[in-house]
C-alpha cells in the first residue's frame, strides 16, 4: 500500500514539474536500476553460498563464472558495493524535486513544528526523498535479491553473468581512480591493531559438518538409539532403532553389525522396517530433520510417500568368531537390500525407519563382582544423534562403577571426542539404568567406548 502511495505522489510531482512523458522515462530508468541492483544482490548471495562447493558439481557455464569470480573474490565484494552505492545515488538524484505534490490535494507546504521558543521546519521533499530511495530499494531490490540468490544459487549465477561483467567494470574504474585506496588503508590500520587483529581459527559447526558429510557420503543416520538389557547371567537383549536417510548416490544395500565376543547369538529379527520416498535435504538440515523425527515416531508426513515393501527385503546374517577352529556365531549383520538402487535419481531422496532386536546368550557381559567390561560403537558414516542405554532387569543386583569414556580415530586417541562422550553420559540414569548417554553428531570414523567395573551387591 505504501509503495502505491509513494508512486502516486511521485507521478503527481513529476507531472507538474516536467510532464507525464518525463515520468515514463524516469519510471523506466529507475526500474532498470532496481533490476540491476536486485541481480547484483542475488549474485552476491549466490556466490557466497557456492564459493565453498565442489567445482565438479557445476556445469560448464557455472564453473567458468565461479572460477572467474574466485580469482577476484575481495575485488568482487567491494566492486558490488560501489555499484549498489552508484545505483542508489542515481535513484536519489532522479527523485530530487523542489516541491511535493499529492494527487487531489496539490502542493504540500513545509510543516512547522513549534518547540518552546524554537520552531522547526520539516520539508516534505526531504521526507519523500528518504522514503523513495529507501523502501523501494529494500522491497524491490535488496530484500528479494538476497532471498532469491540464496534459494536458487546456480540459476542466479547463470542469469546474472552480465551483471558480473558490469561489476568488473565498476571495480576496474574504482581501482584505476584510487577510490578504494582510503578504505584499504583504513582496513590495514584497523587489522594491525590489537582489537581487530585476525583470529579466525574456528572449526565448522556440528550441524554444518554433518550436512556436508551427508551430501558427500550420500547417507546418514538421522538418529540411532541402542538399548541393551543385561540379565543376571550376563546374557542380554539389544534393541536398535534408527532412521536412515539416503541422498544423491543410489545404492542397493545398507547394514549394521553388532557382536559380543565370548557369547553366542540366540535370536535376531526386525520388529519393523518401513521405507519412504522423501524430499531432498535443502540448505538447512532442520527442515528435513523435523520430518524425519515424525517417521521415527511412526508418522508418515504429508511430503513423504511409502515405498512398496515388495521392492526390498531384510537381512539378518549371522557373523562367526574369527580365528577359531569351531567358531560360534557371536554377531549379526542386519540391514536391507533393495531391488532397485535408491534414491532413484540424484535429485531425490528416501528414508528408512527400522527397529531391530537381538538376543545373546550368557557371556555377552561380565557380571562378576570387580570384573571389568566395556561397550563401544563405531560410526563409519554421519549420524545426527546417538543414544545409548544399558539397563538391567528389575531387582537386579548389578551396578557399574568407574565408568570411563574413550574415543579413538584410526586407533589413535581423540581427546576432543573423548571429552564430548564423557559429557554425553547422564550421571543419574534412573531406576534399572546402568548407563545412559546422548551424543549429538558423533564424528564419522570414530570408535566411542564406555568401560567400567562391575559392582554386584549381595
Q: Does domain 209-456 have CATH number 2.20.25?
A: no
- Measured CA to CA, the distance from residue 292 to residue 156 in angstroms comes to 30
The whole-angstrom distance between residue 381's C-alpha and the CA centroid of its chain comes to 17
The model's pLDDT over 201-217, given as tens digits with 9 standing for 90+, comes to 777 789 989 999 999 99
Is pLDDT of 224 > 90? yes
Lateral strand order in the sheet of 236-247: 305-306, 265-278, 349-360, 236-247, 219-230, 385-392, 433-440
Contact residues for 435 (Cβ-Cβ < 8 A; gap 6+): 375, 388, 389, 390, 400, 403, 425, 429, 450, 452
- Across the range 337-344, mean pLDDT stands at 88
Is pLDDT of 346 > 80? no
- Measured CA to CA, the distance from residue 147 to residue 135 in angstroms comes to 17
Is pLDDT of 117 > 70? no
pLDDT of res. 61 = 80
User: Beta strand 106-107 with 372-379: parallel, antiparallel or unpaired?
Assistant: unpaired
**Residue/partner pairs of 180-185 with CB below 8 Å, 24 or more apart:** 180/78, 180/82, 183/78
- Measured CA to CA, the distance from residue 385 to residue 379 in angstroms comes to 11
pLDDT of res. 423 = 94
- Across the range 221-240, mean pLDDT stands at 95
- Measured CA to CA, the distance from residue 41 to residue 167 in angstroms comes to 11
Model confidence band, residue 116 (pLDDT cutoffs 50, 70, 90): low
CATH 2.60.40-classified regions of the chain? 209-456
Q: Which residue has the cell 515416531?
A: 297
Range of lowest pLDDT (110-124, 294-308, 347-361)? 110-124
* Positive or negative: CA dihedral 179, 183, 184, 189: positive
- Across the range 63-79, mean pLDDT stands at 86
Is pLDDT of 11 > 70? no
Helix (H) / strand (E) element for 111: namely: strand 111-115
Q: Can you read off the three cell numbers belonging to residue 131?
A: 522514503
Q: Which residue has the cell 529379527?
A: 269
Most confident by average pLDDT, 39-43, 109-113, 182-186, 198-202: 39-43
Residue 281 burial (10 A CB sphere; 0-12, 13-18, 19+): buried
Q: Which residue has the cell 551427508?
A: 214
Contact residues for 224 (Cβ-Cβ < 8 A; gap 6+): 240, 241, 242, 383, 385, 386, 387
Q: Which residue has the cell 509503495?
A: 3
The model's pLDDT over 309-320, given as tens digits with 9 standing for 90+, comes to 777 889 999 988
- Measured CA to CA, the distance from residue 406 to residue 374 in angstroms comes to 10
Helix (H) / strand (E) element for 150: namely: helix 143-151
The model's pLDDT over 409-454, given as tens digits with 9 standing for 90+, comes to 988 999 999 999 999 998 776 678 899 999 999 999 999 999 999 9
* Positive or negative: CA dihedral 28, 33, 38, 42: positive
Q: What is the CA radius of gyration of the chain?
A: 33
Q: Would you call 241 helix, strand, or coil by DSSP?
A: strand
Contact assessment for residue 360 and residue 263, using Cβ atoms and an 8 Å cutoff:
yes
- Measured CA to CA, the distance from residue 42 to residue 50 in angstroms comes to 12
Q: Would you call 326 helix, strand, or coil by DSSP?
A: coil
Amino acid at each position: 500500500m505504501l509503495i502505491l502511495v509513494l508512486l502516486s505522489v511521485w507521478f503527481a510531482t513529476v507531472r507538474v514539474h516536467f510532464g507525464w512523458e518525463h515520468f515514463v522515462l524516469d519510471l523506466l530508468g529507475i526500474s532498470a536500476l532496481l533490476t540491476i541492483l536486485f541481480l547484483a544482490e542475488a549474485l552476491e548471495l549466490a556466490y557466497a553460498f557456492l564459493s565453498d562447493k565442489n567445482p565438479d558439481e557445476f556445469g560448464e557455464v557455472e564453473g567458468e563464472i565461479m572460477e572467474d569470480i574466485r580469482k577476484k573474490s575481495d575485488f568482487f565484494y567491494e566492486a558490488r558495493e560501489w555499484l549498489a552505492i552508484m545505483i542508489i545515488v542515481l535513484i536519489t538524484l532522479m527523485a530530487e524535486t523542489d516541491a511535493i505534490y499529492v494527487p487531489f490535494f496539490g502542493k504540500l507546504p513545509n510543516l512547522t513544528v513549534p518547540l518552546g521558543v524554537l520552531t522547526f521546519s520539516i520539508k516534505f521533499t526531504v521526507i519523500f526523498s528518504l522514503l523513495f530511495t529507501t523502501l523501494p530499494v529494500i522491497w524491490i531490490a535488496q530484500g528479494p535479491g538476497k532471498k532469491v540468490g540464496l534459494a536458487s544459487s546456480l540459476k542466479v549465477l547463470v542469469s546474472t553473468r552480465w551483471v558480473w561483467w558490469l561489476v568488473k567494470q565498476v571495480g576496474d574504474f574504482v581501482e584505476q581512480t584510487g577510490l578504494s585506496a582510503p578504505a584499504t588503508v583504513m582496513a590495514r590500520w584497523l587489522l594491525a591493531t590489537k582489537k581487530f587483529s585476525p583470529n579466525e581459527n574456528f572449526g565448522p559447526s556440528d550441524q554444518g559438518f554433518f550436512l556436508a558429510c551427508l551430501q558427500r557420503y550420500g547417507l546418514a543416520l538421522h538418529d540411532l538409539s541402542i538399548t541393551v538389557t543385561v540379565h543376571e547371567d550376563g546374557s542380554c537383549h539389544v534393541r536398535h532403532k534408527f532412521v536412515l536417510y539416503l541422498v544423491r548416490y543410489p545404492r542397493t544395500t545398507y547394514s549394521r553389525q553388532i557382536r559380543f565376543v565370548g557369547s553366542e547369538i540366540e535370536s535376531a529379527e526386525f520388529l519393523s522396517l518401513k521405507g519412504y520416498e522423501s524430499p531432498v535435504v535443502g540448505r538447512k538440515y532442520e527442515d528435513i530433520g523435523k520430518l524425519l523425527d515424525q517417521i521415527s515416531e511412526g508418522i508418515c508426513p504429508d511430503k513423504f510417500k511409502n515405498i512398496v515393501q515388495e521392492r526390498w527385503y531384510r537381512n539378518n546374517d549371522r557373523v562367526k568368531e574369527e580365528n577359531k577352529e569351531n567358531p560360534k556365531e557371536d554377531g549379526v549383520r542386519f540391514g536391507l537390500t533393495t531391488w532397485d538402487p535408491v534414491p532413484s535419481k540424484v535429485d531425490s531422496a528416501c528414508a528408512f525407519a527400522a527397529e531391530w532386536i537381538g538376543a545373546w546368550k550368557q557371556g555377552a557381559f561380565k557380571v562378576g563382582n570387580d570384573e571389568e567390561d566395556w561397550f563401544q560403537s563405531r560410526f563409519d558414516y554421519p549420524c545426527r544423534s546417538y543414544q545409548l542405554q544399558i539397563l538391567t532387569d528389575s531387582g537386579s543386583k548389578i551396578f557399574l562403577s568407574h565408568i570411563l569414556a574413550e574415543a579413538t580415530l584410526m586407533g589413535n586417541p581423540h581427546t576432543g571426542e573423548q571429552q564430548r562422550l564423557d559429557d554425553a553420559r547422564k550421571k543419574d540414569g534412573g531406576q534399572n539404568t546402568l548407563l545412559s548417554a546422548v551424543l549429538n553428531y558423533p564424528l564419522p570414523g570414530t570408535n566411542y567406548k564406555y568401560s567400567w567395573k562391575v559392582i554386584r551387591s549381595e
